[in-house]
């Protein structure tokens, strides 16, 4: 299940995204010109973190630069599986350049 607005991935069906306060869906619809379905392009691993603040900061930067991305996994304190940020392969170098000076707290 995926939030159609913030693109966060959740396990539970019939769930309201706590960030956007809208129902999650099993399919994404195009909500802005910056989003493209992950089925159309190959994505590359950018970073993984246990920290939701790191994810929020990275997402904000990627959104501002109109870089297509996907966040895989659920991040929460005490989680043993980090959230992973994936970006389109053709935008990977640009994403790395945009994040090179960002100091993240708990990235793995």
Q: Any idea what the CATH number is for the domain that residue 52 is in?
A: 3.30.70.790
The overall average pLDDT reported for the chain is 76
61 and 92 assigned to the same domain: yes
The answer for residues whose C-beta is within 8 angstroms of residue 62's C-beta and 6 or more apart is: 69, 85, 87, 95, 98
Domain ranges, residue 71? 43-99
Q: What is the pLDDT of residue 61?
A: 95
**pTM of the complete model beyond 0.85:** no
pLDDT at residue 99 tops 50? yes
Q: Quote the number of domains for the chain.
A: 2
Q: What is the pLDDT of residue 33?
A: 38
Instruction: Give the separation between CA 92 and CA 74, rounded to whole angstroms.
Output: 22
54 and 94 assigned to the same domain: yes
Q: Is residue 23 part of a domain?
A: yes
93 and 54 assigned to the same domain: yes
Q: Is residue 37 part of a domain?
A: no
Q: What is the pLDDT of residue 78?
A: 61
């Amino acid at each position: 299940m995926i939030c159609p607005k913030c693109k966060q991935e959740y396990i539970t069906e019939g769930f309201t995204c706590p960030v956007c306060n809208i129902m999650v869906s099993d399919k994404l619809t195009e909500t802005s010109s910056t989003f493209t379905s992950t089925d159309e392009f190959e994505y590359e691993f950018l970073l993984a973190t246990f920290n939701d603040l790191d994810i929020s900061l990275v997402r904000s930067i990627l959104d501002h630069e109109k870089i297509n991305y996907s966040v895989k996994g659920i991040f929460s304190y005490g989680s043993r599986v980090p959230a992973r940020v994936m970006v389109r392969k053709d935008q990977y170098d640009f994403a790395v350049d945009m994040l090179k000076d960002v100091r993240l707290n708990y990235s793995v």
